[in-house]
Each structure stands twice: as structure tokens, then as C-alpha cells.
Amino acid sequence: MSATMTVAVTFTETKQGVESEPPPYTAVTDHVDNDVISHVQVRPPIVYTSPSAFFCSLWARWKSLWTPRFIFSMIAGQVVSLCITVTNVTTTELIDRNWSLPTTQTWFLYFSLFAVYTPYTMYQYGFKGWAKMVWRDGWKYFILACCDVEGNFLVVKAYNYTDLLSCMLLDAWAIPVCIFFCWIYMRTKYHWTQILGVLICVGGLGMLVASDMLTDKNYPALNKGKGDAFMIIGATLYGFTNATEEFFVRRSPLYEVVGQLGMWGTLINGIQASALEHHDMTLASWNGATAYTAAMFILYTTAPLLYRSASSPFYNISLLTSDFYGLLFGLFLFHYSPYWLYFPSFCVVVLGLVVYFWHATPEEQGKVDPKRPAYIQRRQEEQV
């Protein structure tokens, strides 16, 4: 598909040669082959002709950031980060209660997604339409669910073999993987400020790792090579599933994508749990998993909305603040003594989130046009 893009930028100069404050947005008209015209917004330019013009343009750029879509993306990113923290805290509590069933624990998440979103999909498509969607498109959701289940499983296993430092650093590998697959799927063009934003966020993660090392929170590795391999594979699957789900939810209804993820995840996770943890199921105490499932349900519901409003790479770098929220939980629940690096590290990660969209806009990350499958639309039109 070829595209021609015309950009109109207006500058107004005073008699003193100082440019006035640029508009908060510059309109861009994108003409595509199918005669669909979409209006994308770009940031106002930074002007370097004089100090006053520079600060005026800098202020205009700052104001252009805070659109309702960007504010929603920032809030949603911190919601999913907080949900990750809740799952970590509840998992720790479950382990203290002799519950060590990571695969079984996640099964309740997939079943809840299936139980909520699949009936609504059937209501929207009709049972025959839903069955046709499963028959024709179920294979791609099966791949998505399989990678998601195994990614969760391998990351949990990695914590059992390698040390905390490796886990925290290698988990960030999901970010470049996600960026790569977004480029494969949607040919997203990344500005250098977005790469800088990612590096700033990773720098904040480095400060968290340093604080954990200085406070001697690391633990010895049982099998570092095996654990690191698990973490790298798991993080790769995370990045792949995030980018793939973003690709799906930008083109299909959210209830279809999440419902199918829940359905296939329930089957895959159930088979794996029965094969690996069937003996431990009889010994575990079956209480306390509700908070974990609720937090994960909120995360899996909010994440697709964040994919649409921003992108899956933005989702991944937003999760880097979860360790700071873990500190807050530790202060109140376990009476941890915080190390001073935790607080500036949180600010550094938030700064990276802002820098990520300093030049690029959320609208430029990909087209959002969710539609029902064409064969279901045709069936409904024939009935009318």
C-alpha cells in the first residue's frame, strides 16, 4: 500500500524575529489507496531561533503530551503495574501457605476470562457465528494462548533456578522482542526519542537492581544456566504474545480476543497442570487464590485497552514501576526498610514513559479499527 503524506506547518514571526508559540498539534493528512483519509496528529516542533522561541515551543510540546489518550495510557500502565505487584505479593502469601502450584494457580485466571468474555462473544456473534469464528480463526488464538501459558510457566520456573539479579535484568528482554514483533506486524516507525525513553526506563530498572544488590536481597542460584535460559525464553514469549495480542485487538473486538485467549488458555493450562501438578493438588490448601486471580483478571482486561491507546512496548516499560509498588506493599505488610534508590528509580521510569511519547504520538503507533469477522457480518446482513 502506497501513501502520500502532506504536512502543513504554520509559523508566525513578529517584527522582532521571535516566533510565536506553535500550535499544540500540527495536522497531518494521510491519503491512502483505498480513499480512506485519516488524520494523525504530530507534536509541535522545537524552535531554536531564540531562547524565548525555544522555551515557548518546549512548553507547547509539553502541553501537547497531555491528551486524554496519553493520560489514560499513563494511568492504565500504572494499573497493570500495580496488578503485577499484587500477583507477586499474593503468590508469596500462597507459598507461605504451602501452595506451590504455579500452573494450577494461573488456570483460574484463564477460566475466569473464558467464563466472562466467551458468553458475551456468543451473544454478539450468535452461537453459530462464534463456532465459525473458532473454526476459522481459532488456530491463531491457540498459538497466542500457548505462548502466553508457557511464558508464564517458564518465568516462574526461572525464579526457582537463577538469582534475582538475572531475573530482573533478563525479564527486560521482553521489551526489545515486543518492539521487534510490533515492527513485523504493523511496520511501526520508532523515533529515536522512543528508544531513548526505553533506555531511560531500563536505567530506572538498573537503579532498582543496584538497590537490591546493595541491600543484599539477592539469593544464590541453584542452576544459573538453566534458570537464565528459562527466563530468556519466557521473556521472548512475553514479548511475542504482547505484540501479537496488540495486533489482534487493533483489528478485532476485545471480547473476541480475550475470550479466545481464556478458552484456549484454560484447555492448555488445565492439561499441563494435571500432568505436572496432579499430586501436589491433593496436598495444597485451596484458599487464598482469589486475590491473585482478581488482579490478573484486571491486568488481562486492561492490557488490551492499553495496547489500543498506546502500544504493547509502552505496556512493557510501564511494568518496570512494579518493583516500587512492591516496596510500598512491603512497607505496610512486611515492614521492610526502603533503600533510598527506590524513589528516584521510580521517577526515572516515569520520566522514560513521558520521553517515549515526547516526539511520537500514541495515534502513530498503529491503526485502531476493531471489526467483527467479515463472514459473521455477512451472515447477519443476510438475516436482516
Strands in the chain per DSSP E: 3-7, 26-32, 37-42
**Distant-in-sequence, close-in-space partners of 97: CB < 8 Å, separation ≥ 6:** 285, 287, 288
Please calculate the CA angle 170-172-178 and round it to the nearest 5 degrees. Answer: 120
CA atoms within 13 A on the CB side of 180: 10
Q: Which amino acid, one-letter code, is at 265?
A: G
Q: Could you give the C-alpha distances from 215 to 124, 176, 210, 349, in angstroms and in order?
A: 54, 29, 9, 21
β-bridge partners, 29: 6, 39
Are 258 and 182 a contacting pair, CB within 8 Å? no
CB-based burial label for 123 (10 Å; 0-12, 13-18, 19+): exposed
CA atoms within 13 A on the CB side of 295: 21
Tens digit of each residue's pLDDT (9 = 90 or more) over 36-95: 334 456 788 899 999 999 999 999 999 999 999 999 999 999 999 999 988 888 877 776
209's grid cell: 537492581
C-alpha span between 349 and 336 (Å, rounded): 22
C-alpha span between 376 and 384 (Å, rounded): 13
178-102-256-300 Cα dihedral, nearest 10 degrees: -60
Tens digit of each residue's pLDDT (9 = 90 or more) over 311-348: 999 999 999 998 888 878 777 776 667 777 888 999 99
pTM for the model stands at 0.84
Are 149 and 272 a contacting pair, CB within 8 Å? yes
pLDDT at 286: 59
262's grid cell: 481464556
CA atoms within 13 A on the CB side of 181: 21
pLDDT at 4: 39
How confident is the model over 107-122, as a mean pLDDT? 95
